[in-house]
Chains A and B, each alone.
Chain A
Amino acid sequence: MSFEIHWDDLHNDAALNNQIRDKLNSFFGSLELPSYLNYIQITDFKIGSHAPEIILHDISEPIAGLNPDPSCTDISDLQILFEVKYDDDLRLELNTSLVLNYPSKEFMALPINIKVNFMSLHVLCLAGIFNKGKRIVFSILCDIEDENPSEDIEARRESITDLMKDKMGSPLERLAIIKNLSIETEIGADSNATLSNDLQINDDDTISELSYSSNSNGTTLRNVDKLEQFLVEKLKNFLRQELGWPSWLTFEFDGESDSSESEEEEENDATGNAED
């Protein structure tokens, strides 16, 4: 490990977690959502218990073309090649709601609750620092295959490939970025008290009805495999499109700022946009 990160300090810092959550929420609040989405709100956020491993591999002169503004090349420009390994139990809970604006506005809504509680990635990244640190170009080059994959991960991968069987034989994707992501979904709202009362009064003849109303959770669908798979796939596609080489993100700094913050931002953006 090239960097030592005092992760414990971060991990136990509730204030930091809250701060990140609030920042994310304010970011989602500023987004202009499509009409079929009501809101996106993060209800819980906790960074994982292990620090990401960052291994520095090379610091060199930038390869040509990486600088988006070739007019201002500088002798101090440099390029960093590093490896990021993250394999952790971070927690993120996200609420959103799908709305039907017919016949009147927000007539019908379908609440969706998404919980992310595990993520692993192992990638090789390239960052170019230009213009005395004011411009940073970041791209993910490729995935790295673990030398000694833990059995846990292997088992998870098995289950994913089982699900993805129909994708076999298709041309290989250049990047996955996220090796593993566990998402739990909940669709639908719990029946609320007043409504279930109405139900019981009016309905004595249908048995199925009663069984639903007796269940306090209503008909909330949980862990819809296909939906989870769909979301993971969307997120992967998004990251691949935005960050996977030969695409990259450029951060322009006006003031003084450090690069670690920029990465944080970029990851936030990614999760946000992947929802649509």
Chain B
Amino acid sequence: MSFRFNEDVFRDNSFNQKIQEKLTSALNKAFREDTSSQTTTTADINNGSVSGAVTHSDKSDILKSRINVKKTDFPTIPKFEILDLDINTQPRSLVKGICKIIVKDAMVQLNTVIESNLLLVNMKHSPSFIKPKLIENNSLEIPIVMTFKNISLEAISNIFVKNNSISISFNDVNLDFDFDCSIKILQKTIEKRLKDSMHMVFKDVLPTVLFNMSQSWFTSNHDTASGNTGGVLAAPQSASPKTVFDEVDLQELSPKNMLRLSTIVSSRHTLSLHGTSDLNSMASIPGCLEKQNLYRFISRMPSLSNYYSAYRRKEATPNANGENSSQQNEAFQYSHDDNCLPERVLREKQYDLNQILDIQNKLYERSTVDENEKPRRRVIKLGKKHKKKTESSQNPMVKSASESQNRQTTPTFEQINFPKTAGAPEVCSTPKCEVNAVHSAPAQVDYFSHDIPEIAEKSFNDKITVARDELNKRLSSKHADFNDISLTRNARINSIGSPPKRISFVGINNYYNSNGWKWGNEDHTTVLPPPPYKV
């Protein structure tokens, strides 16, 4: 057996008592509350074992007392074996198991009182005109004792444990028992009906009961689970229609972007690609990254592997040979899967500690789901007899802020891109512009105006327009592209000296524009491998 049962429980009869209690309460649920809730219906079919002869409900009219479980006996310890196990963590946690359940020699004895007057008519809910002529409504109650002996159950079941529930399906059930009824006349019929209804019990009733039970367990035990259901419940309330875009909002969107979007929409309607031909691909929308190109973006993330790519093993270094370039490319991609510092860097003392820390910090910021999540910094006190762990009291965020302040010399991801933007050829066409670019250095150029919260944009609207006017005055009027560029406060973009923030997606298009790399659906073979990350 795979599961080990606590033998003491079986030996000292406490299990029998427990199961007797549980059975009694379960069987009488239907008797007490005559509602059509799920638990009632399930208990109802459990009652099939007792009310046997009665096929249609209203068992409360047949059963005249509660069902008492007089005796239970499990002389042999049941067996619960795991035959196979499968654990999935993605996309969500799920444990699948195939189990075998064996119960032997069990005995259950029930007694209750039944109504044996067959002429009894229940007229509670029926109109009087269908009332039969012959009515004898004096009840004749007969106590009945039913004994199930030698119950042997052998079942193969699939068990799924999901986040907060357990579901079970019985695949192969062998159930056998000897049935003994105190009213011999009924014995045959009841037995037949019971055995007939058993497959129903295992197919439907037991799984539902167990599922509901498991859900109530998990939700009562774990706050997170209850939080989940709370979220589900809250959803319908907020289902009222919401206006995403107002007319007013539309005016604030860049007309060029709106034009592009409408081109794409219309091309979907007409299936014509003419209008979009100049767009090349949808990915050429600034700031948009298609899922299929995500890996390229990831491969360009600053990581130890690409920062020190020159020191990596030879299959990782890109080769100019055109023929195997695609293979090389794959090898290169693959090698990005792990973020490792090449050993040669250490051997040749080429490492830069601050750079390593910086990259790791960035990757950490990216990996955390919650922006306010703090790195764990536990304190372990040693030297005392008892060792205890305490969550570090000080605020690590403040500290890491001071860290980044101290490491101002190390370039950050954003910084790398900034000079390129400022020095982009179109801006530099006149010497005047360059002066301007330097002059406006604190104000960063941001291609991703969608990122900016609406309010922030509004509040800076005035400043932006002023700045833009100033720029336009200095710039030659040809540079229509500048309409897309909005100027924002440097505090928002620049992570140096400000509290740590996530990496913003500044820079894809800079590379795209200045170096000719694309992020669209180009042919795999023509794509240059992403260049090593460099300062």
Contact = CB atoms under 8 A, between A and B. Distances in A.
B336 interface: yes
A213 to B, nearest CB: 10
A198 interface: yes
A227 interface: yes
A110 B340 contact: no
Scoring B100, B301, B367, B407 by chain A CB atoms within 10 A of each residue's CB, the highest score goes to B367
Contact of B346 (A83, A219, A226): A83
Scoring A109, A110, A144 by chain B CB atoms within 10 A of each residue's CB, the highest score goes to A144
A124 B400 CA distance: 20
A269 B388 CA distance: 11
Contacts of A255: 383
B309 to A, nearest CB: 11
B89 A219 contact: no
B381 A169 contact: no
Contacts, number: 241
A23 B77 CA distance: 37
Contacts of B394: 68-69
Contact of B338 (A143, A221, A250): A143
A230 B366 CA distance: 23
Given A124-B346, A171-B298, A141 B383 contact: no
Scoring B1, B14, B312, B396 by chain A CB atoms within 10 A of each residue's CB, the highest score goes to B1
Contact of B298 (A103, A172, A224, A261): A172
Contact of A253 (B14, B80, B298, B382): B382
Interface stretch (B107-115, B140-148, B254-262, B371-379): B371-379
A69 B400 CA distance: 13
Dominant secondary structure of chain A at its interface with chain B:
mixed
Interface stretch (B118-126, B240-248, B349-357, B446-454): B349-357
A224 B96 CA distance: 12
Contacts of A28: none
Interface residues of A, number: 83
Contacts of B489: none
B360 interface: yes
Contacts of B346: 55, 57, 83, 124, 144
Interface stretch (A40-48, A58-66, A86-94): A58-66
B18 A142 contact: no
A162 interface: no
Given A107-B5, A110-B4, A220-B2, A250 B380 contact: yes
A204 to B, nearest CB: 12
Contacts of B347: 147
B213 to A, nearest CB: 9
A202 B387 CA distance: 54
Contact of A233 (B77, B84, B89): B89
B313 A145 contact: yes
A141 B337 contact: no
Contacts of B367: 171, 173-174
A29 interface: no
21 contacts: A57-B346, A100-B3, A106-B6, A107-B15, A143-B338, A145-B340, A146-B343, A171-B301, A174-B339, A174-B364, A175-B360, A191-B1, A202-B105, A209-B102, A224-B87, A226-B85, A241-B376, A242-B378, A250-B377, A255-B383, A262-B380
Interface of A: 55, 57-58, 63-65, 68-69, 81, 83, 97, 100, 103-104, 106-111, 122, 124, 126, 141-147, 161, 166-169, 171-176, 187-189, 191, 195, 198, 202-203, 206, 209, 212, 218-221, 224, 226-227, 229-230, 233, 241-242, 244-257, 261-262, 265-266, 269
Given A145-B343, A227-B85, 5 more contacts: A97-B4, A108-B5, A111-B4, A147-B347, A172-B337
